[in-house]
Chains A and B, each alone.
Chain A
Amino acid sequence: MKLYLIKSIFAVVILFSLSVFSQQTPADKQSQSILIIGATAHIGNGTVINNSAIGFDKGKINFVGDAASVNKTNYNTVIDGTGKDLYPGFIAPNSSLGLAEIDAVRATLDFEERGELNPNVRSLIAFNTESKVIESMRPNGVLMAQIAPRGGLISGSSSIVQFDAWNWEDAVLKVDDGIHINWPATDRRSFRGPDAGKIMPNKDYKTDIKQLDDFLNNAYAYSQLKAEEKNLKYEAVIGLFDGSKKLFINADNAQQISESVAFALNHHIQKMVIIGGEEAYKVTSLLKQNNVPVLLKRLHSLPNNEDEDVDLPYRLPKILTDAGLLVGLQAAGGGMERMNTRNLPFYAGTAIAYGLTYEQGVALITLNNAKILGMNDRIGSLELGKDATLFVSVGDALDMKTNQVEQAFIQGRNISLDSHQKALYNRYMKKYHGK
């Protein structure tokens, strides 16, 4: 036992010494097998192992079970997780991390291309692995994300990445996994005339939808018999028709959601996801019937209407889960979406405070999100053969009060939990208190 303790202290010392670098250096490939034993393992699929043993080697999980059932000698390193919690790395879907650094500085903004129909625009190549905002995710357990562009009717193509990489090629888990659509607004703020200051029906609603319809009709025709002249925009969406890509539609109110589902059905879309889903609770049977999952907008949001109950946003995961839908959480859907992504665990905690069981809450940001992204074969839970992307917290990681991520691994690599922010903390604590 003593041996294990010494090892973990050693690990902490190493981490501490890294803090002099402003940018965190990606960790080395996993060279030694690691076993974490004694922790409460939240598997991600709704189950929990109280006194667990989770082993991994060469970046993959190779043991999941009870502490009593593992042969410790199979592992080079054994980490004592007694009294601690073990989680699969949290996944932030529909994120723009790495595409912008400082909101008010235009030169740092790379998430929104001009134009309405940009399926060919790819987030991946702009994904800055060295973003200071990204390194602030890991100390909270957020280790992976889907990076999606913003703006227009068709924003572009997203990719799925992990947060310990030298460059975007290192980072990527899945290239161009999905196409992101912003369903046209049914209502718009009126600036002039007698209705100034009111949100009135959008007069362009139908023409906006027609743009989408026309585009997908043409793209589908193109996919059936490719013309000699290549069309990059149509090429970008072909995957939607054969199911190799998913369609993510941002839709909030009941009308938008219903029409989005009908739209996907009409256009031979194999897999779709609703992003936002503020009023998904009004159309759960439609969503259930068509197996459409929902990535709810940031739970820490205000009700959409002055008449809505104060805690309605908090209760949505429970309502949708009870209706039999696959529900995931994202951090987007409000201001400061990138910086706030580190609070993703606490949105899951809120879902628990308002009705879900603890393990259901964990699943929202692990296996559910992985399923919604079509990545559950590789990530999202502590299951055999999956990526060893996981972390140890000395307390409940879904509560800000106790979220203390002590050690985290991405594909088995023991990653740095330091950040620009931690470095400043240490520097000034040293200045004031000499330590």
Chain B
Amino acid sequence: MKKILIFLCVLSILSNLKAQEYFPTNSEIKSTSHHYTAFTNAKIYVTPTLIINNGTLLIKDGRVIGAAADVKLPKNTTIINLNGKFIYPSFIDLYSDFGIKKPSSDGFSPFRSPQYDSTRDGYYWNDHVLPEKNAFDDFEYQSKDAKVLIESGFGVVLSNQKNAIARGSAVLVALNEFDNNHQRVISKKASQNFGFTRAAGSKQSYPSSLMGMIALMRQMFYDASWYKTHKNMNDITLEALIANEMLPKIFDANSKFNDLRASSLAKEFNFNFIIKGGGDEYERIDAIKNTNSRYILPLNFPDAFDVSNPINAAKITLSEMLRWNQAPGNPATLAKNNLLFSFTFDGLKDAKTFRANLLKAIEYGLDKTKALEALTTAPATFIGQQTQIGSLNNGSWANFLITSGDIFDKNTVLYENWTQGNANVVNDKNIIPINGNYTLTLDNTNYSLSLSGDKADTPSAVLKQDTTKIDAKLVYKNGWISLNFKPLKQANFNRISAMVTTDGIQKGIATLYNGEASTASFIKLNNTENKSDNKKEEKDVALNILPLSFPNMAFGFTEKPVQQSILVKNVTLWTNEKDGILKNTDVLLKNGKIAKIGKNLSDTNALVIDGAGKHLTNGIIDEHSHIALESVNEGGHNSSAEARMQDVVNPEDISLYRTLAGGVTTSQLLHGSANPIGAQSAIIKLKWGSLPEEVIIKNQPKFIKFALGENVKQSNWGNSENVRFPQTRMGVEQVYMDYFTRAKEYDDLKKKGIPVRKDLELETLVEIINSQRFITCHSYVQTEINMLMKVAEKFNFRVNTFTHILEGYKVADKMKAHGVGASTFADWWAFKYEVNDAIPYNASIMNSLGITVAINSDDAEMSRRLNQEASKSMKYGNMSEEDAWKLVTLNPAKLLHLDNQLGSFKIGKDADVVLWSANPLSIYAHAEKVIIDGIIYFDYDKDKQMVKADEKRRNTLINMMLDAKNNGDKTRIPFKKDKIYFTCETVSDYNSNNN
């Protein structure tokens, strides 16, 4: 059915004039009217929990005067009898960009030089931070967009742009077609909005990554609080941020982990965001619950995939299919966990889908009262507007819906959506139903006419002459029916128009097939209405919601693995200690630590693993990794010391599981090499199935990534990338000299007790100078390696680690003297000019001088074969077996300052161990069990079982999707996930909307 929106102009004129009392009138005389309107005999939901059966709603001048069982009606009241219909407060959407012009695209061109500096004068230094923007200033009512929202049941939206990191204030506006902004704007500034997206239309490079966005936001809030007390200049942006600081803050996070990121950001500044979620909160509901935030939830549940072609079906990941199956349960899950939330129309296009998904959420277990709250009182309360909107309490705006029945009933029709006392007709509530069986008499012939269907205004007609069915077209419009049909044996039509009154179909005016005028009569028969029998019967399929797994994807644990005592018997043990390699040894792991090493050990409570013929080692430590991250490079500045990789850890990356399967238990997640000073590193344990905060090692030593050479001077980025300093190795040195000099001055001021503006970047650099944070520096050729050591020595600290360091062998003596370690590739070379002299003997040469050497991956594929990469040093340079093994265990532990807890078999160190099928340095070995903190996170046999179980899960879901398609559900084309495996060199813009 085409929905028709009719605007009742009579009522609109009344309020229109009210809003503009002081406006002169020139087109006619002034005609104001302030009478009452009452809606009687209605079931009224004043609030989701205050319900009046058979009550009256009285409104005047766009506001509720009273809603009760018995309301005294003044004389000047127009009464509308609703005859048992339902009244609800209309819905509120807190995350809309209604009436806000979409910013033009950023016009990105790969051939244009990037823009590193801000273009604005008088504002903050970053063009993606726009708190001074007021949506009200740009707001323009859009009737077409309003129509869709009104049909969906919305009466008020909180509107703002959906781009930029700080988005300015949002305008709260009623979807009131009949008045102008004087009336419809309920609050000019109702919230202050933020999000993890760059401002569309702003080309400034920084921030290009999620960690850059977080860092920028933190700095911005720190600057605002500094500005309050130390205003020695004018900054329009910070002033706006401060002026609006009491407004509710809405954060467009858009995914479960971004929800957590937004929440911890807020906690740093002692406030809380209202978080616009991603719809996947149910996957990590415990953590979401701990945010104590209020949520705005989307209802854009994913469509099923068209899996009718098995080849295409194979492309879809289990995680995508699970999402389809489980996401409609998201609101119910939040409700069950007592989280407060509202709903948004964001991500939807039409009223039909909004309603269908709303009902789906209820079908998936969302309580109806909670659902109604999420649409009315909850959003109103979130933004402190509960006296104005969201209920039909006295004094509220008269924003309400008139429906045929329970709003969450599938067959309920939304008749009217009133905003500020004006009616928007969605479906005509006054249509007289005409369904039934009739005898039509025309030209002395009797026909039987049967009218049926769900919608009163579009009955479907079946016409029979004798028993023969005749094609007939019947239209019911504006109180008249028109019916055309060809009687049997005739080539031309009989044509009838007949008026419909409350008495039924009246005698009609007819023209016969032969052109003669005639009269038609409709006699309604008393037999019961025919249920339409040609309508497809809807199957009531029992809901089959698959259980969650951790993570909720392939290889996810249905039950999280637990810590236990483990006794490995008769194993070949690589101690990495003086004992070397011990044969036929027992090892007991207890409370997540290495508890005992010896012969004939026993522990009655321990899980006993037969290690005969097998090898037990420490878990591999990858000193240089980019797995399990949302972003890798913040190349928008030549220094991004303020950014933190720990902010963007994503432990649900399949690379984490695959790397774990390769025997790796710890990885240092580094920033890329897009700039000389990168971001702060995060060291994680590969605890598959855990949360970001659980994989990040607690109280870890502080590290930062630096980089040298071709990447930081952007040699291979294309010819347009020549505007950022430095473009040569000479410039790289000056970047360091400049930053460290400034950091030192900053630190000196602080030490003298002089108040300084908190500068996150300089604070980080100060830590380096004070040897509280260690540098891991991406490096290739000898000149630059030497240079950085000299810079460090000038500032009296030491470089901790050179990573890649492919020409380290050329300056190994200098490195040894400086005291720096090395983390290198086994045999990579020739991929760019600066690695032309890279040799696979590098590790061996540096090792021969006593430098602490590690082999790292920088690559999601190699990270699962680091044992083999270590073993290459035996081929290239004849390194001993024990030394080779330390390259990926004890030595990286030392480089990470974690050798007190990792890297060797010493009583009390972490029980991060791997059981190998053979000598771990051999190509023939694979990890059979990978244990972290005494918990078995990878088990080779269990992996095979999980593959089988996942195939089953896939099959179940594919069958459900086939059923869904056959039931007429919308489907989409299967696609393959675009998995980008990060390396140092990956540069791409982060956008939380593309998750």
Measured CB to CB, the residues of A under 8 A from B are 101-105, 132-133, 187, 189-190, 195-201, 253-255, 300-303, 305-307, 309-311, 334-336, 338-339, 342-343, 346, 349-350, 352-354, 398-404, 421-422, 424-425, 428-429, 432-433
Contact = CB atoms under 8 A, between A and B. Distances in A.
Nearest to B871: A401
Task: List 8 tightest A-B contacts by C-beta distance, closest first.
Answer: A104-B832, A349-B923, A199-B976, A425-B841, A307-B554, A421-B839, A198-B975, A306-B654
B745 interface: no
Nearest to B834: A104
A339 B827 CA distance: 8
Contacts of A197: 978, 994
Contact of B812 (A190, A198, A310, A428): A428
Contacts of A189: 978
B833 A432 contact: no
A428 B976 contact: no
Among B716, B831, B944, B979, max chain A CB count under 10 A is at B831
Given A199-B978, A306-B319, A433-B848, 14 more contacts: A133-B830, A197-B978, A198-B977, A305-B314, A305-B976, A309-B944, A311-B926, A336-B830, A350-B923, A352-B923, A401-B923, A404-B875, A422-B841, A425-B841
Contacts of A403: 875
Nearest to B813: A432
B558 interface: no
Given A310-B864, A401-B922, A103 B994 contact: no
B553 A400 contact: no
A360 B977 CA distance: 36
Contacts of A339: 827-831
A401 B921 contact: yes
16 contacts: A195-B975, A197-B978, A199-B315, A199-B975, A200-B975, A201-B975, A253-B311, A306-B553, A306-B554, A310-B661, A311-B926, A339-B828, A343-B827, A346-B923, A424-B839, A432-B848
Interface string B272-313: 000000000000000000000000000000000000000110
Contact of A104 (B710, B950, B954): B710
A103 B658 contact: no
Interface string B845-887: 1001100000000001110110010011011110000000000
Contacts of B314: 305
A346 B868 CA distance: 9
A336 B715 CA distance: 19
Nearest to B839: A421
B809 A424 contact: yes
A105 B834 CA distance: 10
Interface string B308-342: 00011011011100000000000000000000000
Interface residues of B, number: 69
Contact of A429 (B833, B845, B860): B845
A7 to B, nearest CB: 23
B875 A302 contact: no
B554 A400 contact: no
Contacts of B833: 102, 104-105
B640 to A, nearest CB: 23
A346 B655 CA distance: 22
B926 to A, nearest CB: 6
A342 B827 contact: yes
B710 A425 contact: no
Contacts of B954: 307
B7 interface: no
Interface string B917-961: 001011111100000000000000001100100100010000000
B556 to A, nearest CB: 11
A70 B976 CA distance: 60
Nearest to A103: B831
Interface string B782-814: 000000000000000000000000000110110
Given A198-B978, A254-B311, A428 B809 contact: yes
A200 B950 CA distance: 23
Nearest to A352: B924
Nearest to B948: A309
A310 B976 contact: no
Nearest to A195: B975
A400 B861 contact: no
B979 A300 contact: no
Given A197-B994, A307-B954, A432-B812, A400 B868 contact: yes
Contacts of B661: 310-311
A349 B848 CA distance: 29
B11 interface: no
A348 to B, nearest CB: 9
B508 interface: no
Nearest to B659: A310
A180 to B, nearest CB: 23
A334 B978 contact: no
**Which of the listed residues A103, A349, A399 has the most CB atoms from chain B within 10 Å of its own CB?**
A399
A132 B317 CA distance: 42
B804 to A, nearest CB: 14
B809 A306 contact: no
B657 interface: yes
A399 B923 CA distance: 5
A398 B553 CA distance: 36
Interface in B13-28: none
A420 B5 CA distance: 80
B973 interface: yes
A255 B830 contact: no
A133 B836 CA distance: 10
The listed residue with most B CB atoms (<10 A of its CB), out of A104, A354, A400, is A400
A196 B978 CA distance: 9
A429 B315 contact: no
A334 B861 CA distance: 10
A302 B841 contact: no
B271 interface: no
B379 interface: no
Contacts of A310: 657-658, 661, 864, 943
Contact of A187 (B315, B810, B830, B862): B315
Contacts of B809: 424-425, 428
A353 B923 contact: yes
Contacts of A198: 975-978
A163 B654 CA distance: 40
Contact of B830 (A101, A200, A307, A354): A101
B473 to A, nearest CB: 38
A47 B990 CA distance: 55
Choose among B841, B981, B994 the residue with the greatest number of A CB atoms under 10 Å from its CB.
Answer: B841
A425 B876 CA distance: 9
B840 interface: yes
Nearest to B312: A201
B950 A307 contact: yes
B290 to A, nearest CB: 28
Given A399-B923, A424-B839, A307 B318 contact: yes
Contacts of B861: 300-302, 334
A399 B922 contact: yes
A354 B661 CA distance: 14
Interface in B463-516: none
B837 interface: yes
A350 B661 CA distance: 15
B910 to A, nearest CB: 24
Q: Which among B658, B715, B813, B976 has the greatest number of chain A C-beta atoms within 10 A?
A: B976
Contacts of B845: 425, 428-429, 432
A329 to B, nearest CB: 13
A307 B317 contact: yes
A305 B923 contact: no
A273 B830 CA distance: 30
Contacts of B828: 336, 339
B370 to A, nearest CB: 31
Contacts of B973: 200-201
Nearest to B988: A197
Nearest to A258: B311
B830 A102 contact: yes
